[in-house]
């Protein structure tokens, strides 16, 4: 990861981070034009020292490197608010929207970047071990940035090691960290990755073509995706997925997302960075 960041970041920013950071703990870098750089080590935000303020040129330099000098080719991703870089690094983007026919068609004058850095972490929790050994459809919930994706990666690899054929729907390229066709994050030998395919399309095509035992996907969003999950379960395919939610109670109160629970066996709730709070057996 250190090597990838050295290729992505302007030298001045990288050198300052190198002085103060353990890159194995670095989870996020925030850059805003005219403001200091902030970085997060295991969820604790700190300001990068010195009199360093981010310039629009440095924002442009990062975007040029992330898109291999083809910003226009990544316009669809930018409109969706992100670019995926090598190794599963995801760069959130915001700036000035350009509208056409009532729809967002481009983002210009980009002023802020949120660089999220993935990690694979071994998780030692008997409750998670129990889910792996007695797997039923599982939903991982938490607020953004608390470690849902990290836990999902770990469980994908463990389920693969148990002999399940796991199909990962990696629409944003963050789960698998595939770069130039090579997977940079170990998700197990029995895992297949559908990369960059919209989840709705992947549900329809990949279930038939790849015959998975389990489908794994990140950040379920909206009724259509929930309906696709229900359809996969009807076909006999198991599911492990994440969704943003404050806590189990708020999920149950949601008119839309409470429908997920009709097909779920376990719900894992994360509160705080990497803190697994509750593992709920829905059927009990």
Is 90 exceeded by the pLDDT of residue 33? Answer: yes
H or E element in which residue 110 lies = strand 103-116
Contact status, residue 176 vs residue 168, Cβ threshold 8 Å: yes
Reported as a pLDDT band with limits 50, 70 and 90, residue 179 is: low
Q: How far apart are CA 254 and CA 222, in angstroms?
A: 11
| pLDDT per position as a tens digit, 96-141 | 999 888 888 889 999 999 999 887 778 889 999 999 999 999 999 9
Q: What is the mean pLDDT of residues 199-218?
A: 89
Contact status, residue 118 vs residue 88, Cβ threshold 8 Å: yes
| pLDDT per position as a tens digit, 214-253 | 999 998 988 999 998 898 898 899 999 999 988 888 888 8
Collapsing DSSP to helix, strand or coil, 86 comes out as helix
Is 90 exceeded by the pLDDT of residue 36? Answer: yes
Q: Which residue in 143, 116, 92 sits closest to 26, CA to CA? A: 116
Sign of the C-alpha dihedral computed for residues 80, 85, 87 and 90 taken in this order = negative
Q: What is the pLDDT of residue 185?
A: 82
Q: How far apart are CA 221 and CA 240, in angstroms?
A: 14
- What phi-psi label fits residue 172: left (phi over 0), alpha (psi between -120 and 50 degrees) or beta? alpha
Question: H-type helices in the chain, by residue range?
Answer: 2-8, 11-20, 56-66, 75-79, 126-133, 148-161, 199-210, 223-234, 248-253
């Amino acid at each position: 990861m250190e090597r990838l960041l050295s290729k992505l970041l302007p030298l001045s920013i990288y050198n300052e981070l190198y002085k103060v950071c353990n890159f194995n703990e670095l989870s996020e870098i925030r850059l805003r034009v005219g403001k200091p750089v902030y970085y997060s080590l295991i969820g604790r935000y700190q300001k990068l020292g010195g009199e360093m303020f981010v310039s629009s040129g440095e924002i442009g330099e990062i975007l040029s490197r992330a898109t291999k000098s083809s910003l226009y080719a990544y316009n669809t991703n930018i409109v969706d608010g992100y670019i995926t870089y090598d190794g599963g690094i995801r760069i959130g983007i915001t700036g000035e929207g350009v509208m056409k026919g009532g729809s967002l068609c481009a983002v210009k004058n980009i002023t802020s970047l949120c660089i999220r850095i993935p990690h694979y972490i071994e998780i030692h929790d008997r409750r998670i071990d129990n889910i792996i050994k007695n797997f039923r459809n599982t939903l991982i919930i938490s607020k953004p940035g608390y470690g849902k994706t990290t836990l999902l990666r770990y469980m994908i690899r463990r389920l693969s090691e148990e002999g399940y054929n796991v199909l990962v729907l990696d629409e944003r390229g963050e789960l698998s960290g595939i770069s130039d066709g090579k997977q940079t994050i170990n998700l197990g030998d029995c895992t297949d990755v559908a990369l960059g395919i919209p989840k709705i399309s992947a549900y329809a095509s990949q279930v038939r073509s790849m015959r998975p035992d389990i489908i794994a996907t990140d950040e379920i969003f909206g009724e259509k995706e929930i309906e696709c999950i229900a359809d996969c379960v009807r076909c006999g395919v198991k599911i492990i997925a994440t969704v943003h939610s404050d806590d189990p109670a708020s999920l149950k109160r949601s008119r839309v997302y409470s429908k997920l629970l009709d097909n779920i066996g376990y719900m894992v709730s994360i509160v705080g960075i990497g803190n697994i709070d509750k593992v709920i057996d829905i059927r009990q």
